Structure 1
């Protein structure tokens, strides 16, 4: 066979928040074997939610041993040991910081260069809570104004990347642990020693440490095992050092810690107060602060100089009842708290696979419970403007929305009613999962109840279906779609119909992962990390 000469092993990357964990890597492994390639070690799987680095180390060790066995290579035991030994990236002797001439840093331009994106400043002009005052949750409609001199073009279905900033209070907490704390007016550059020479490292812009921590470095994501391993060497308390060392080396202990506490860098410093480190450590080892993406909830035909987004303000409590901790979504709470008129750095990410069909006469089915409705607001605004201008004929639009209670969180209820009254939306189906005195209903249940309508629009009339929301819901909706085709398509192969829909790009998905791994009720009551037990 063509690949019979090939020896391989695959390490797959993924997240257990999604139904088909590491599916691409597993498929690649299977296809290579079918083509005649020889697998020398089983597929490794790295979960971004927990233990990815250690999983890779174990896979690399097994693969290296397999290669040595196949090619009869004798390797000393001490060399094999190095594969699973610590590989702390932080080496104080090869990094240093040096002052540079002060410059007037343009934050927006610096974000553009750091992230290789065309970042522009929009202005927050409005923020509205879409849920009732009786709800214990918040979902906000955020309206951003594009400056007249800025060029930002987007289409319904696109995303906007938002850059949030770390608060002054959190930055000060970090600064208080810096041994060589520089003055705020001193701009710094990082240098790394390479072959005897000190070379500038421009991972983030040359600026003072406070500016770096505010705009460019991530101090709110859970601390990784590799970063924890480096921090363990910087604890002056033996107890802190012991716990951090255990968490950095024991995958199971670290996983429990992520579920139980999941401390960010700032929270870790408050929990392990003996930690002390250098400015060079922060500038080289903290992850870069990334944008958060949101589906755009507006059409530029409707609001030419604005971008609207629908944001669930994330507030939750960690899983363990032994030491519950309140947590807050970084960007969503930032958007909910900054003053009206504040500048919001952002950029557009095109999502061509989630755009409306080029032929506007084709039917459109939209499935989006909760904030999954976000991009569909841009869809119905677009169709409204097209209909008003008389430029095109519009096909049917059907909305499947889901929420807990009508009186609490039926967001955009008024808009949906108006759009249906104006003939933009033909039907709106609402599933209620917590409405008193009625059975729980989810969007897939409503799809099943209207299966003939879905089949007619999607298969017979050549329509498109759009699914937006979390990965679990999307999997349930896709499964229900398959059941509908089986039921309604009595004389044909349902798998062939699904294949046609996929090949013609008529099933569109905009999916995001779950917040954390799901545990059974028994597991969730027993989760306690080494720090809390």
Structure 2
């Protein structure tokens, strides 16, 4: 399988344009394995891609963009629902470029996300009273609620019959956005390669099974030898300290481990003098301890000074990374006082907030400070670039 993207050439000097977001590189898949063990409720893919011939490079902390393709089953359901001709040619952009409808819905347009704007514009293509009512200004909250967790197929099924062509509908859609993933490798450790750690997103909502566009593409449809269109997205706000002497504390539960694997690999190659401490968490130690063998070897070799784990489903009381931070508050504060850099990667909604609160509590308690003083201490760390977050 190859996800098609065109390579541009500069007509003046005939040299290839550098690979980028608008001109992605077709990276060959070298390895694609599930990191979770038997009995896990999760599927986390470790993917290794070749950058040979791309001229692309990266540093630990950067992200890789993938331009995905939509699920062929979902595309088929949309075309079937609307009784469209999949070979019909549709205009896809302002430049007037065209694609066959099936290809446009597969590789060009975003079809799994609904916006307020799409529903408002679609209301003109139907006599459906329910939709006309939903898009009224006074029903803004209900409209927002409807868009949550629903896609184009839901809209087609819920508010027909429709009186619009395929062209009129695709004109409402936005272009597929690249999915960004924290890079999980050091190029110094794996020359010419880039590794990713991607959790497959699958859930049921509104009576239908839902799949993450890119994560499930990678989990179910991309085999070794296939190619994926990729580009490097630098992350200026998340990187190792310039001095190799500095200590680093890394908090990365679940797929949040990704950039820290790159940090650890990089520091192993350059034989950094600074200490490193990792907090990792997931559901079960037996099936969800991502990169366990590697991490244990790094600890044995002294590359990783400490590893503290929290497996939330292995005990009566759910234990998370922030609980491990509080348990080790004395040592944690001593590391901070010694100039350690503190990094967090992963879930923005809950985990990052809980870790932030735990960090404040550690500083307040061990530094004998008020909450405001602890906050000022943390703000000072931020100002020095010693508190960095890569959250999503």
Structure-1-length-normalised TM-score:
0.65
Contact 2:130/2:159 (8 A) holds in 1:
no
Aligned to 1:297: 184
Residue from 113, 117, 139 that aligns with 1:226? 117
**SS, match of residue 245 in structure 1:** helix
CA RMSD of aligned residues (A): 2.6
- Distance in 1, matches of 2:216 and 2:109, equals 18
- Distance in 1, matches of 2:369 and 2:80, equals 71
- 1:300 deviates by 0.3
Residue from 383, 394, 406 that aligns with 2:273? 394
Sort the Cα spacing of 1:303 and 1:189 in 2 relative to 1 into closer, same or farther, 3 A: closer
Aligned to 1:32: none
Does residue 346 of the first structure (1) align with residue 238 of the second (2)?
A: no
1:268-295: CA deviation from partner (whole Å, max 9, x where unpaired): 3344453342243234211111011111
1:461-492: CA deviation from partner (whole Å, max 9, x where unpaired): 21100001112211111111112112222379
Aligned to 1:329: 212
Aligned to 1:159: 63
1:235-286: CA deviation from partner (whole Å, max 9, x where unpaired): 3xx5xx1222233222233244345xx3211343344453342243234211
**SS, match of residue 285 in structure 1:** coil
Residue from 490, 506, 522 that aligns with 2:386? 506
Contact 2:244/2:274 (8 A) holds in 1:
yes
Aligned to 2:344: 467
- Distance in 1, matches of 2:336 and 2:219, equals 39
User: Structure 2, unaligned stretches of length 5 or more?
Assistant: 9-16
Sort the Cα spacing of 1:333 and 1:491 in 2 relative to 1 into closer, same or farther, 3 A: closer
- Distance in 2, matches of 1:257 and 1:346, equals 32
- Distance in 2, matches of 1:182 and 1:491, equals 66
Aligned to 2:13: none
Contact 1:226/1:248 (8 A) holds in 2:
no
- 1:164 deviates by 0.9
Sort the Cα spacing of 1:314 and 1:169 in 2 relative to 1 into closer, same or farther, 3 A: closer
Structure-2-length-normalised TM-score:
0.87
- 1:188 deviates by 4.6
1:305-350: CA deviation from partner (whole Å, max 9, x where unpaired): 11111111111122xxxx5432211110011122322110011110
**SS, match of residue 99 in structure 2:** coil
RCO comparison, higher one (Cα < 8 Å, 6+): 2
Aligned length: 375
Aligned to 1:125: 30
User: Matches of residues 209-220 of structure 1 in structure 2 within 5 Å?
Assistant: 209-220=101-112
Does residue 444 of the first structure (1) align with residue 333 of the second (2)?
A: no
1:168-208: CA deviation from partner (whole Å, max 9, x where unpaired): 44334444567885855x57576xxxxxxxxxx22x74434
User: Matches of residues 54-93 of structure 1 in structure 2 within 5 Å?
Assistant: none
Aligned to 1:107: 5
**SS, match of residue 308 in structure 2:** strand
Contact 1:188/1:206 (8 A) holds in 2:
yes
User: Structure 1, unaligned stretches of length 5 or more?
Assistant: 1-104, 191-200, 388-392, 513-533
